[in-house]
Each structure stands twice: as structure tokens, then as C-alpha cells.
Structure 1
């Protein structure tokens, strides 16, 4: 699928382009221009915005595209961000379907990148027009009052769409491999659904750590995606094939860890292939929630099962800053790839929720896509 859209908005040039686009100016005039831009940012915030509202749980039919939602006012500890790129993740479907209960009506969306247009009371460390990426809630909208403690400035070497596409899935994979099960060089692990967003990040990070990765995908068409992400061995899902491949690769010992974002349909198999004293990291419910099970099953091989949440690893500002710094370093110095599978305008949210491979982002005020799967970044 490809997306074509026409240029209907303009943006200011990047800061590093100003000297090329303007005549020499005094420090005073540049400062005056900067202050004018800051004033303009907050004064031009409209009263209403476009966004996606759900008033009840269900399928994609409950996703309502609205053009008259109220623009939020940032409270203490919040920054108002004009979203340019909005990430879509499996967790959004959990809230839509009711797998994760939440109050309704609700605006979905856990991440976006954009520019700060105003600051809430007592917020420090940010300025209007800062280019940022955030984690939180109510992302499927033009504006979000994001928590300042979960907002970070985007380094100049990273594009806004890449920052948006990486922040939630990249941090998830990073925390899983450092805290849910700290991997070691030479380990054999199993990653399920490796062509997905978190799966792809896991494969890249595990390879960088010297870990041998067996990856599963749902079809032959997704094998190349998993291999490009760094999987050493790729298996297409089928009856008994994963168990057999794990046995071959590990000499019958099993993998030291399984990273399972599938859930209900793969949980028992994941316990079957994990090694003695190994760990099953169950972090997703793509096939449904895992059914209750007797904990005595774990004693057969002294296994551990963990069910982590990203937000419990980055609860404090220090934790969030530590992990975002590591993620940005992986992207800039270790050249880890951000794979954006497809882009959609916000109004096509239902179509986007039906896509099952890779990272999906919504594009707000896009200047030019011209059929490309990768959005062009304008700052």
C-alpha cells in the first residue's frame, strides 16, 4: 500500500538552515525573531482540533474521526505539543477492544513527535518550538497535553518520524533485554512475531549484544524482514516447526529466554521450549490474553515468567532519561534502523488498525509524501 497526499501546510526552516536562507543579521535581530516565533506558537493555538474519539469498546467501527474536539490546556507538569507524527501500537487495540479497561470517551495513542506550543505552570527545561517526542496518552489528535516528565527533546541527528516510530517500541525492546531478562553474549533466545515493531527492535538489540536469535514470522513474505533486523535463524510458524528448530539450534537444551508478544496461542509452547532455569518474557496479547495457569508448571524446569510493562521501567524521570539516552545512542552511533512500514492520514485510523506488520504512523500536516512509504521530515 502507498499513500499520496498533497502539500497543504508549510513549516519554518530548521534552525541550522537559517544562516543559508537569510541575510546576515545582528544577534539582537535574531533574538527578536526567535522571541516572535515563540509568541506566535502559543497565540496561534486554535480552540478545536481534529482527533480520533472512541465512546465504547469494539472493532474499528468505534473509531470516530472528529474535527471539533477541544484543544487541551496544559496543566502543571505538562507541555502542549502540536503533533506532527503519531505512532500506532498494538496496545492501542487493547484499549479499543476493552482488553485493557479504561474510561470512555477516550482518545487513544501513546506516543507522538512534534513541537511544543505552550508550557504548563512550573515546567522547566523546555521552550516553545522545541522539537520533542513524548510518551503518555491521547495521541490520536492534533494537540496533546503531554507529561513533561515523559517528553524529551529529539537530537538533531534523528528525524521526527523516526523518533516517533522508535520511542515506545524501541524502549520496550531495550527494557525487556536489560531488565525483564538481562541477556548475555552467546545466549540463544527466541523472539516471536519478529516482523512486528517490537520484534524487529528486539532482533537488532539482541544482535548488537552478541545474542543468537531464533525468530518466528507468520509467512514466507516476512522472513526477509526478520533477517534484515538481525535474526540469525528465522522460522515460519507451523505445527511443531518452532520446537524442532529450537532443539536443533540449542542441542536440545532450549532457549534461555523467550520474548513472547503473541500471548494466548503461544504461551504453552513458549514454556515448552525455554531451557531449565530460563525465562519466559510475556509482554503482549496479539492473539488474546494468556489464560490463567497453575504456577506449579514452572517447577518442572525452575522457570520464571515475567509480565512487564514499559511504563513501570520508566516511572521516574531519571529512568526515562536514562533509557531514552540509550535508545538515541543506538539510533545515532550504532545505526540501528527504524522501519516504518506504512504512513496514514489520521482520518484513516481504521485502516491502520487492521495492519499487522511493522511500525505504523499517522501523519499530521504532512508537506510531501509523493507515494513514498517513508515520510519526509521537515524538522
Structure 2
């Protein structure tokens, strides 16, 4: 018998209860993996709290890496002991789990398990934001909120590698240098500076081509004021609360703006899509143009404390839970 955190009722961090948990034997098209590292992401807190309702009870967590310990019927090309990573499928806060092979990503020999577990969900998010949602081009200017977060550090470096000018916002003075050293040409502490005025100053009044916003309620409406006419607002998270747009006319008044709310589930509907994005991620990491920053490591048993740190804006870069 192995252990896992279980959410029986939606709620705060303490809604996660450590319990004995037998994931069972893998069925057709599945493998059983023993985790070596588990990624921590804001979506974990959304699902735990009920902002994104889940069928109860469930094991939280959407990103991890581990070794195959059992293989189900019909699985080809995977052997016991192989290293696999995954993203976007709940069940990670466990010592062992069942994983559909359709969601499994082989970990290359030159990528370690901690890097894979800390970067796959956030790195694939950065990939679809920069390459699919808006195919970013050299010479364009973007505003990226939460630039010192796990996704932000990856995306800002990647955008700079493409040749874009990156303006990042952070929530504390301590995070300014980190963002500046990871792709941001300009960094704004949005708690002490008027980020709209600063963006307008930095762009000579024009505004940015794209805003990428995972913060949500606290930044959404003011971010619209940072865009050039016909610019794109990408809302991809809700760390300060969900966003509502009751009056679409605001997009017209702010300059015929575009607005999208993308999710990885829409962009990675097939394993081929996922593997292609993962290959691009491994390649940009190998190039040295994107460096992976693991800011915190918690024991798996400390998952509630890790959630409190994440929700309290007390983390930088990626965070791991280690079984």
C-alpha cells in the first residue's frame, strides 16, 4: 500500500488529507509509475478549492515525473524502469499512480527528473502561449504578469529568445532582479508602481502587442489599458480570483482589442501535440536560452504548507514536492 493526498471536500489547503492509497494495477493503455518528483501549480489550488470543480474524492496535482513499475495491456514502446513525465492529468500528489500512456512523455537522458517535473506543465503552457495562442515574432513587445513565477520565468526567457521585448510585472522588490535576469528587459513591481503608466512610458504611448495575465481579478481590467489597438489580452489564470467581462463593449472602447482564455487541454488534445511541444521545450532548455529555476522543494508530506506558500505569493520560480 502506498500513500497519497486525497481531497474529499473542496476547501482550503487543509482539505488535503494524507491517506493510504492503492492506485491498483494498470489497465489497457496505462502504466503505473512511482513518482520521483511532483510539480506544484496554481491549477492544483483551483481544483482543491472548487474554483475548478472536480469529482470528489480526488488526488490533486497535475504534473510529475517517475519510473514505470507496471505496464498494462496493449502498451508498446515503454518498459519497466523507463522515466516518464506528464502534465495536465490530476493524481500527482501520490507516491505511485496510474497514468494513461496517451499523457506520458519520455524524459530524455540529458534531462533529470526534477527538471522534467518542474517544467513540463509550465513549459508547455509557455509554448502554447508564445507559439500557438499568438505566434510571437521578433520585434514585438509583450507584458507578462507574474514574471518571477514558474511559468513566467520560462515564458519570459523564451520570448526574449524569440526576439521580443519583454516587460514583466512582479509582486515584490525581491523578485525584480530575478525577473530581469530571466528575459525581462523591464520589470515593474505592480504593488508599488502604476504598471499602466509605466508600460505606456516604456512603449512611447503605443502599448504592447500582447498581455499575458495569470493573476486575474487584480490586474485584468487595467491590463486592457496596456494594449495597443487590436492587441491581444491572454487571460490564462486566476491567482487573485476569477475574471468576469460583463460588458464586451470595453474591448471596443480600449481599441478593438482581442481577448482569449486558453487552456492546455485545448491545445494538447493528442499525444502527438504534447510530444511536439515537449520536444520544443527540451530543445530550448538544451540551448541554454531557457534556464529552469526551482525555487522551492517541499516533502510530499508538506503539500498543504506548499499550497499556502503558493497562494500567499511566497514562492519564486517552480516548486517541487518530493516523495
Rounded to whole Å, the distance in 1 between the matches of 2:163 and 2:286 is 19
Deviation at 1:293, TM superposition (A): 2.3
Deviation at 1:239, TM superposition (A): 6.4
Q: Does 1:362 align with 2:318?
A: no
Candidates 80, 87, 90, aligned match of 2:32: 80
In the other structure, the counterpart of 1:297 is 250
Task: Say whether the 8 Å CA contact 1:137–1:146 is kept in structure 2.
Answer: no
Instruction: List runs of 5+ in structure 1 lacking aligned partners.
Output: 1-47, 365-379
- What TM-score, normalized by structure 2, do the two folds share? 0.95
| Partner deviation per Cα, 1:23-66 (whole Å, 9 max, x = no partner) | xxxxxxxxxxxxxxxxxxxxxxxxx2111111001111111112
Candidates 178, 182, 190, aligned match of 1:237: 190
In the other structure, the counterpart of 2:98 is 145
Instruction: List runs of 5+ in structure 2 lacking aligned partners.
Output: none
The secondary structure found in structure 1 opposite 2:28 is coil
| Partner deviation per Cα, 1:286-315 (whole Å, 9 max, x = no partner) | 000002321122123111111000121111
The secondary structure found in structure 2 opposite 1:176 is helix
Deviation at 1:260, TM superposition (A): 0.2
Deviation at 1:71, TM superposition (A): 2.6
Deviation at 1:333, TM superposition (A): 2.4
- Divergent runs of 4+, >3 A: none
The secondary structure found in structure 1 opposite 2:122 is helix
Q: Aligned pair in 2 of structure 1 residues 96, 341: CA closer, same or farther (>3 Å)?
A: same
Q: Does 1:221 align with 2:174?
A: yes
RMSD between superposed Cα atoms in Å: 1.2
Deviation at 1:81, TM superposition (A): 0.8
The secondary structure found in structure 2 opposite 1:354 is helix
| Partner deviation per Cα, 1:255-310 (whole Å, 9 max, x = no partner) | 00000000111110111111101000000000000023211221231111110001
- What TM-score, normalized by structure 1, do the two folds share? 0.81
Rounded to whole Å, the distance in 1 between the matches of 2:275 and 2:13 is 35
In the other structure, the counterpart of 1:262 is 215
The secondary structure found in structure 1 opposite 2:218 is coil
Rounded to whole Å, the distance in 1 between the matches of 2:90 and 2:30 is 12
| Partner deviation per Cα, 1:109-155 (whole Å, 9 max, x = no partner) | 11111101111111112111001111222000011111211111111
Alignment of 1:229-378 (within 5 A): 229-238=182-191, 241-300=194-253, 301-355=255-309, 356=313, 357=315, 358-364=317-323
Rounded to whole Å, the distance in 1 between the matches of 2:32 and 2:289 is 31
Q: Does 1:131 align with 2:83?
A: yes
Q: Does 1:95 align with 2:95?
A: no
Candidates 98, 109, 113, aligned match of 2:61: 109
In the other structure, the counterpart of 1:120 is 72
Task: Say whether the 8 Å CA contact 1:81–1:118 is kept in structure 2.
Answer: yes
